[in-house]
Structure 1
Amino acid sequence: MATQYAISGTTAKGIAGSVERAVADGSLPPGSALPPVRRLAEDLGVSPGTVATAYKELRQRGIVLTRGRGGTVVAEAPSVGTSGSRRPPKTPEGVRSLAGGHPDPAFLPDLVPPSRVTPGPGSHRTSPRLPELEAVARRWFERDGVPAGHVTFAHGALDCVGRLLSAELRPGDAVAMEDPGFHRLLDLAPALGLRIVPVAVDEEGIRPEALRAALRAGARAVVCMPRSQSPLGACFSERRRAELLAVLTAAPEVLVIEDDYTADISGVPLHSLTTGGLPRWAQVRTVSKHLGSDLRWAALACDETSLARHDGLLLLTSGWVSHVLQETVLRLLTDPATAALVARAEAAYTARREALIGELGRRGITAHGRSGLNVWVPVRDESAVVNGLRSHGWWVAGGARFRTASAPGVRITTAALPVEEAARLAGDFAAVLGESESTYGG
């Protein structure tokens, strides 16, 4: 169905700007069809090539998608801050927030930067990584069997994944992503102009048959979480890892990216695809969940080609990760007291997650969360459950922003939920479901 919004402009940039403004203010909601190139060119009195260039720019920026004979439409999660974005809503006042996916502040160490910062030579481009931190990062990966022959740094997981995808793929290419999956990754791919192919997830991670279908659909990269999968809390089993490797071995040109963002607090062992001899692979690790969200630092282990492409793009942008930040991270990663605090955090997060799942189970409510900081509860009506729990003083995350084609649910962050409060939350959850069985479902 053609849109009623009047697109304006006499240049490609002007036409693209007109569309982007309409998407941003809601005049062109997700799914809206743009006029065919030749018709819009005739309406605006410009050449078809000018309109085609404008549409190409919009595709590259993830604002629109082209669906062959289906024409050009506004993307479901356009990257211009529209109502279709997957950004979480603001937490209402007066409620206990269990929606953010954040760690318990009680288990985060104090961030102590270097006591003295010596002015550098003006550029660290020739030595972007502190040798001591690089050695620690290698041991970090090797502890779990991840090959660490090629290691580099980035400004957090999303920065790293975005750079890997930008270096490997081109606008319009397809990337396989978990469904349900991490909402910021699901926003990142369209922003890069990439097409998401959803891959179904169960408690053991991405499902082999779904991955096989995604590769057949043309996916040139796969992004997944081997443990603490958000929002489901899934983790690869040894059997699932073998099944996925069997699928990926038949597609050696595909880049496999693992986001192991809770490597030290997941509560389960790692069964990584990176240890399976794949030619193109990468694993990203961050410290924001166990050392502090202000530490925007990530370590990347990957194949030689991915390293060269990642660092080539990094060199053209920020050049390197702050050495002051690197020194701060190094101190924490090598501090015995911090290591003991992180170990206590992992034990507490496991106990809290399992306590809520157990209490929900005792009330006949199915919940998922084998690892990490969150629990996923399937429901029939997400909004009704979120609002119902809000009336009891709890704020949880509706599952819509984590989903592409999967069934509805809500995500509950259990990291800061003491074991003794699990029963009360589970009781309130059961009460909400019982208010109207025809509306709410567990």
Structure 2
Amino acid sequence: MEALLNLAERTGRGLTAALRDAVADGRLAPGTRLPATRDLAADLGLSRGVVVGAYEQLVAEGRFVARRGAGTVVAENALAAPPRTPAETPAPEARALRPGVPDLKSFPRSDWKRAYGAALDNARHADLDYGDPAGTPRLREALADYLGRVRAARCTADDVVVTTGAAQAMSLLAGLTTGPIGVEDPGSAAIRDQIVAHGLRVRPLTVDGEGADPASIGAATKVFLTPAHQFPTGVVLAPRRRAAFVAWARRTGGLVIEDDYDAEFRYDRQPVGCMQGLAPDAVALIGSASKALAPGLRIGWLVVPPAWRARVHAAKAIADHGGPTLEHLAFAHLLENGGYDRHLRRVRRLYRQRRDAVVAALRTHLPHARIDGVAAGLHLVVELPPDVDDVALAHRAHEAGLGPIALSTLRHAPGAPGLVLGYATHRPDELTAAVATVGKLVRRP
């Protein structure tokens, strides 16, 4: 199959484009049966989630047809099938049960408008010039204070680099890395794709009831962890394993990359401090405002160990010459005047109610399914019977306008099938109806 594809870039977009071109010029003829997503992912060295996403996009465009029990084939009229217009394809944010996003309707528009106005009123002319690539000093000070107060981080403004979301923070570190990076299994498909896009190898780290297992580090030179709330299982990394990862980093000169992606949302347990606070010399802390406020702000941060500071600053300067000053100043204002904390208190109550609605609906419509990861975050995991094809189930759910992720697409090694369900974006009644639909799809022969 690889010989039929002109894969310009090893990303979901690159694979989708390569498959589309292969259909257009006849290399993939109508009626051709496509390889199973797991097989093609192995052949191309991509995550299964990338392949699943490419297949789903081309099904949505009418170029592929997914047939139950027969796999995915090239549509008979594939050459005549134009891409669907945005009006025909529901926007991602409209999909109930989509994990990874907050309730965008709850974005504090009035508070942000005031904060942005204050930033504009108080900004000096010099602030509008190219600034420090590490970010506006005022925001770095505010973030250092916030992270110390809320996440028990040990850092000063000099340790903080303001980034374009968590994705840029990870890219900066990956770009300075050689050798394999250990990644949790199951874990984030987006992170795996970033690592592969930088020409690096992924080393799966086994995840069990105590989180990622340091015994599976192998030849990795860095490890990527979500210790406060493992994605997707929700497990908290056990204290002895935290200590083991830190000891490994200090012994080998490695680095622990800690993604604190949804640390603000805890419901049934006490907050867990970040690993960086235990070992600021060995842990790089990544965070963002994407889950707390909105991904569209593109505001993130990276707290780097002192030994990495100069290299990261240089890479950041090359990447973008610094970020958007007015947005940085507005966010700093929101952190300083308590607006950020007030917003978090409001949405935390909202998300708890929505989580409770999803859990109750699952117990009604999928009473025998195991539910994990309910104590924190913006998503939970539903483990399904071993005979359920979770990839096909997620595809049917997407066709029904829902947005769950198949657990299998987040795995390297085989494991129990399941769905990752987000609950932040919709009202309890809408979530209840969405779970009822999933229940029907699971039971559908």
Structure 1 Cα separation of the partners of residues 182 and 328 of structure 2: 32
CA offsets 1:279-314 (integer angstroms, 9 cap, x no match):
421111211221222221222223101222211211
Q: 1:428 to 1:165 in 2, by over 3 A?
A: same
1:241–1:321 distance in 2 versus 1, CA, 3 Å: farther
SS of residue matched to 1:200 = strand
Q: 1:74 aligns with which of 44, 62, 66?
A: 44
1:434 aligns with 2:434: no
Provide Cα deviations, 1:309-348, integer angstroms capped at 9, x if missing partner: 2112112231222211211211222343443222111122
SS in 2 for 1:367: strand
**Following the alignment from structure 1 to structure 2, what is the Cα–Cα distance between the partners of residues 295 and 376?**
27
- Tell me the residue number matched to 2:423: 414
Partners of 1:234 and 1:272 in 2: CA distance: 14
Give the aligned partner of residue 136 of structure 1.
Answer: 142
Aligned to 2:173: 164
Unmatched 5+ stretches in structure 1: 8-15, 30-64, 68-72, 437-442
Secondary structure of the residue aligned to 1:294 is: helix
With structure 1 as the length reference, what TM-score do the two structures score? 0.72
CA distance in 1, matches of 2:397, 2:135: 47
| Aligned partners of 1:222 and 1:256 also within 8 Å | yes
> In the alignment, what sits opposite 1:245?
243
Tell me if 1:396 matches 2:404: yes
Cα pair distance change 1:87/1:235, threshold 3 Å:
farther
Matches within 5 A, 1:140-151: 140-143=146-149, 144-149=151-156, 150-151=159-160
How many percent identity over aligned positions? 21
* Residue 231 of structure 2: aligned partner: 230
- CA separation of 1:393/1:138 partners in 2, compared to 1, >3 Å: closer, same or farther? closer
| Aligned-partner SS, 2:154 | coil
In structure 1, distance between residues paired with 2:246 and 2:143 = 27
In structure 2, what is the equivalent of residue 213 of structure 1? Answer: 216
Whichever residue aligns with residue 174 of structure 2, its letter is L
Distance, in Å, in 1 between the alignment partners of 2:130 and 2:339 is 31
Alignment match of 1:276 (pick from 278, 285, 292): 278
Shift of 1:122: 7.2
Summarize the Cα distance change of 1:418–1:28 in structure 2 as closer, same or farther, 3 Å threshold. closer
| Deviations 1:164-200, CA, capped at 9 Å, x for gaps | 1222x12xx1001122222211110000011011123
- Runs of 4 or more, structure 1, over 6 Å off, are 16-23, 84-88
Seen in structure 2, the aligned counterparts of structure 1 residues 87 and 274 have a Cα distance that, compared at 3 Å, is farther
For 1:99, the aligned partner's letter is: R
The one-character-per-residue Cα deviations of 1:72-92 (angstroms, maximum 9, x if unpaired) are x632249xx984767985795
Change (3 A) 1:119 1:415: same
Which residue in 1 is equivalent to 2:36?
none
1:352 aligns with 2:350: no
Distance 1:18 1:234 in 2: 33
Q: 1:419: Cα distance to partner?
A: 3.5
* Count of residues in correspondence between the two structures: 374
Distance 2:438 2:155 in 1: 45
CA contact 1:255–1:281 (8 Å) conserved in 2: yes
**Can you list the C-alpha shifts for 1:129-178, whole angstroms capped at 9, x where unaligned?**
433322211111112211114222211111011101222x12xx100112
Contact in 1 for aligned 2:135/2:162 (Cα 8 Å): yes
* Contact 2:222-2:256 at 8 Å conserved across structures: yes
Gaps of 5+ in 2: 23-40, 61-87
Q: Secondary structure of the equivalent of 1:429?
A: helix
Distance 1:316 1:394, change over 3 A: closer
Q: Which has the higher contact order (CA 8 A, sep 6+)?
A: 2
- Aligned residue number for residue 25 of structure 1: 18
Whether the 8 Å contact between 2:289 and 2:300 is mirrored in structure 1 is yes
Partner of residue 371, structure 2: 367
Look up the equivalent residue of 1:405 and give its one-letter code.
A
Whether the 8 Å CA contact 2:249–2:256 is kept in 1: the answer is no
In the TM superposition, what are the counterparts of 1:34-45 in structure 2 within 5 Å? none
1:189 aligned onto 2:188: no
What letter matches 1:232 in structure 2? Answer: T
Q: Cα gap change, 1:22/1:243 in structure 2, threshold over 3 Å: closer, same or farther?
A: closer
Contact between 1:233 and 1:373, CA under 8 Å: does it hold in 2?
Answer: no
RMSD (Å) for aligned C-alpha atoms: 3.8
**Are residues 286 and 185 of structure 1, via their aligned partners in 2, closer, same or farther at CA, if it must alter by over 3 Å?**
same
Cross-structure match for 1:261: 261
Secondary structure (helix, strand or coil) at the match of 1:262 reads coil
In structure 1, C-alpha distance between the alignment counterparts of 2:10 and 2:137, rounded to whole Å? 48
For the 8 Å contact 2:257–2:283, the answer to whether it is kept is yes
Q: Which amino acid aligns with 1:416?
A: T
Query: What SS does the aligned partner of 2:341 have?
Result: helix
